[in-house]
């Protein structure tokens, strides 16, 4: 199931369990701990008194009392002491143990704050990396909806290398397409070619044929020596998004589950797409599958066209995705972290819980 980074107050999350960044006494404190106890009411503290505290990296569960969440999972993050004291492993353990406890208790949705990233001093950008990596790893083997709740702004992410690179790419593309009229003209020509390429798909999902179209003057590439396979091309020209997606999954030798997990797409949404040949996905969903399938940019343009979309240099969202696809970065969670920083829609899908 998907993983989403959201901006919210965790006490408002309508999920099966929220996670509390507690201290070892489990008897309340400031920050998110204080906010959770205030929102849950005195029953929470009473139950916490019976738990006998909690070790760093471990997790314990209570009911949610007046919270919209059914449970609170209390975990104790490490105090940041420069990074040489096993902080990363302990923080990873917080996420892993909390998630395991959620699964043991039948939870299907869990929301985390950025554990240790407040009073305990863990640098926020690094704390977020640890959270994303630990959650993504757990989701490889479990079906669970996980939210990482960021409270307030995410300026702390702006210093990260990947973010700076993406921003530089956006600036370049914007400068190119908005300042220089010659470039603008040639870009339009390129788009016309790409659109043509998008309409022209061969057996290997447009690759050979699309390359030929992009070259414009080059003859249409045949899938095998001899004549072009017009039957196959015509068949695929009619192909809707759903059909194209299923074919690509097979061609890539992936299972459906591998694909929707890598796309960060909910299993139910995937079933809907699979069973409805006319399904019209959103643009982020198409990109999510393009990333999961590790498509080239040309192939991505083709897949977008199947859903009635084009890749646009007027959209920062599209430019960011173009950057990742061109760079061969196909980690949906890494991409979502950057999209989150830019206040863009994220790839994949979940259910609204706020
Ligand atoms: N919703 C979501 N996130 C929040 C909220 C909220 N309502 N309030 C704060 N945060 P911290 P720690 C974010 O200090 O670093 C307590 O006193 C906050 O911006 O709550 O693990 C405990 O009792 C930050 O990013 O937890 C411990 O003694 C993140 O939650 C100690 O603090 C964690 O900040 C634990 O420190």
Residues 159-171 pLDDT 10s: 788 888 998 998 8
Length of the chain: 354
Mean pLDDT of 315-330: 96
The residue whose CB lies within 8 Å of the most ligand 1 atoms, and thus the one to mutate among 6, 21, 44, 59, is: 21
* 3-class SS string, 209-236: HHHHHHCCCCCCCCCCCCCCCHHHHHHH
**351 pLDDT above the threshold of 60:** no
The residue range of the domain holding 48 is 3-153
The residue whose CB lies within 8 Å of the most ligand 1 atoms, and thus the one to mutate among 15, 32, 120, is: 32
**202 pLDDT above the threshold of 80:** no
The atom number, within ligand 1, closest to the CA of 122 reads 15
- Cβ-Cβ contacts under 8 Å for 203 (sequence gap 6 or more): 223, 229, 232
Q: Among all residues, which ones are annotated catalytic? A: 33
> What does the pLDDT read at residue 192?
62
Mean pLDDT of 199-227: 42
> What does the pLDDT read at residue 73?
98
Residue 226 within any structural domain of the chain = no
The domain that holds 126 is classified in CATH as 3.40.220.10
DSSP H or E run through 146: strand 145-150
Residue 222 within any structural domain of the chain = no
Mean pLDDT of 273-280: 93
Does 268 share its domain with 330? Answer: yes
Residue 314 within any structural domain of the chain = yes
The atom number, within ligand 1, closest to the CA of 9 reads 1
Mean pLDDT of 238-264: 94
* Ligand 1 centroid from CA 118, angstroms: 5
**101 pLDDT above the threshold of 70:** yes
Mean pLDDT of 11-18: 98
Residue 182 within any structural domain of the chain = no
**263 pLDDT above the threshold of 90:** yes
Tokens of 165: 């690179």
Task: Check pocket membership of 208 for ligand 1, CB cut-off 6 A.
Answer: no
Residue 194 within any structural domain of the chain = no
> What does the pLDDT read at residue 214?
39
Q: Which residues of 277-292 are buried (b: 16+ CB within 10 A; e: fewer)?
A: eebebebbbbbbbbbb
**Nearest CA residue ID for atom 28, ligand 1:** 23
Does 115 share its domain with 142? Answer: yes
DSSP letter, residue 81 = S
Encode pLDDT of 42-54 as tens digits.
Answer: 999 999 999 999 9
Does 112 share its domain with 172? Answer: no
The residue whose CB lies within 8 Å of the most ligand 1 atoms, and thus the one to mutate among 24, 31, 35, is: 31
**208 pLDDT above the threshold of 50:** no
Task: Check pocket membership of 127 for ligand 1, CB cut-off 6 A.
Answer: no
> What does the pLDDT read at residue 231?
52
Residue 90 within any structural domain of the chain = yes
> What does the pLDDT read at residue 157?
79
> What does the pLDDT read at residue 195?
58
Task: Check pocket membership of 118 for ligand 1, CB cut-off 6 A.
Answer: yes
Mean pLDDT of 71-81: 98
> What does the pLDDT read at residue 155?
77
Does 39 share its domain with 144? Answer: yes
Q: Which residues of 102-114 are buried (b: 16+ CB within 10 A; e: fewer)?
A: bbeeebebbbbbb
Encode pLDDT of 174-197 as tens digits.
Answer: 776 665 555 556 656 666 665 565
> What does the pLDDT read at residue 174?
74
- Considering only residues 228 and 135, tell me which one the structure prediction assigns the higher pLDDT: 135
Q: Structurally, how many domains does the chain consist of? A: 2
Does 127 share its domain with 12? Answer: yes
Percentage of the chain modeled with pLDDT above 70: 80
Residue 101 within any structural domain of the chain = yes
Does 291 share its domain with 145? Answer: no
> Given the DSSP bridges, would you call strands 17-22 and 71-76 parallel, antiparallel or unpaired?
parallel
Mean pLDDT of 131-155: 91
Mean pLDDT score across all residues of the chain: 86
Give the end of a domain, one of 121, 153, 185: 153
> What does the pLDDT read at residue 187?
58
Give the end of a domain, one of 153, 187, 211: 153
> What does the pLDDT read at residue 153?
77
Is-contact 322 310, C-beta < 8 A? Answer: no
**203 pLDDT above the threshold of 60:** no
Is-contact 330 264, C-beta < 8 A? Answer: no
Task: Check pocket membership of 223 for ligand 1, CB cut-off 6 A.
Answer: no
Q: Among 8-22, 71-85, 186-200, whose mean pLDDT is lowest?
A: 186-200
* Ligand 1 centroid from CA 21, angstroms: 6
CB atoms within 10 A of CB 74: 26
Task: Check pocket membership of 114 for ligand 1, CB cut-off 6 A.
Answer: yes
Residue 284 within any structural domain of the chain = yes
**304 pLDDT above the threshold of 60:** yes
Give the end of a domain, one of 118, 153, 188: 153
Does 60 share its domain with 169? Answer: no
Does 169 share its domain with 112? Answer: no
Mean pLDDT of 47-68: 98
Give the model's confidence band at 212: pLDDT under 50 very low, under 70 low, under 90 confident, else very high. very low
Does 252 share its domain with 322? Answer: yes
> What does the pLDDT read at residue 5?
92
* Ligand 1 centroid from CA 138, angstroms: 23
Mean pLDDT of 69-77: 98
- Cβ-Cβ contacts under 8 Å for 169 (sequence gap 6 or more): 319, 320, 323
> What does the pLDDT read at residue 161?
86
Percentage of the chain modeled with pLDDT above 90: 70
């Amino acid at each position: 199931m998907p993983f989403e980074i959201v901006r919210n107050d965790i006490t408002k999350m309508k999920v099966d369990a929220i996670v509390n960044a507690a201290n070892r006494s489990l008897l309340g404190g400031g920050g998110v701990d204080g906010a959770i106890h205030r929102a849950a009411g005195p029953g929470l503290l009473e139950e916490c008194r019976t738990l006998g505290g909690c070790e760093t990296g471990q997790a314990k569960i209570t009911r949610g009392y007046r919270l919209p969440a059914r449970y609170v999972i209390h975990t104790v993050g490490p105090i940041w002491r420069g990074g040489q004291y096993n902080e990363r492993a302990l923080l990873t353990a917080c996420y892993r143990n909390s998630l395991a406890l959620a699964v043991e208790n039948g939870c299907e949705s869990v929301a985390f704050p950025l554990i240790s990233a407040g009073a305990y001093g863990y640098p926020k950008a690094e704390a977020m990396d640890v959270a994303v990596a630990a959650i993504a790893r757990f989701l490889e083997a479990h079906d669970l909806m996980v939210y990482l709740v960021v409270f307030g702004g995410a300026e702390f992410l702006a210093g990260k290398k990947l973010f700076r690179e993406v921003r530089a790419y956006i600036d370049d593309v914007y400068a190119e397409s908005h300042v220089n009229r010659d470039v603008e003209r040639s870009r339009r020509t390129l788009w016309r070619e790409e659109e043509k390429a998008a309409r022209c798909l061969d057996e290997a999902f447009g690759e050979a044929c699309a390359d030929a179209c992009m070259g414009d003057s080059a003859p249409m590439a045949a899938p095998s020596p001899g004549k072009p396979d017009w039957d196959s091309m015509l068949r695929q020209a009619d192909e809707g998004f759903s059909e194209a997606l299923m074919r690509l999954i097979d061609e890539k030798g992936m299972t459906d589950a591998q694909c929707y997990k890598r796309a960060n797409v909910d299993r139910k949404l995937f079933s809907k797409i699979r069973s409805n040949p006319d399904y019209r996905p959103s643009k982020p969903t198409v990109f999510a599958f393009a990333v999961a399938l590790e498509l080239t940019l040309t192939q991505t343009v083709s897949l977008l066209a199947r859903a009635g979309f084009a890749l646009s240099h007027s959209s920062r969202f599209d430019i960011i995705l173009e950057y990742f696809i061109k760079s061969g970065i196909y980690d949906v969670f890494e991409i979502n972290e950057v999209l989150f920083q830019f206040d863009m829609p994220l790839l994949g899908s979940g259910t609204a819980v706020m």
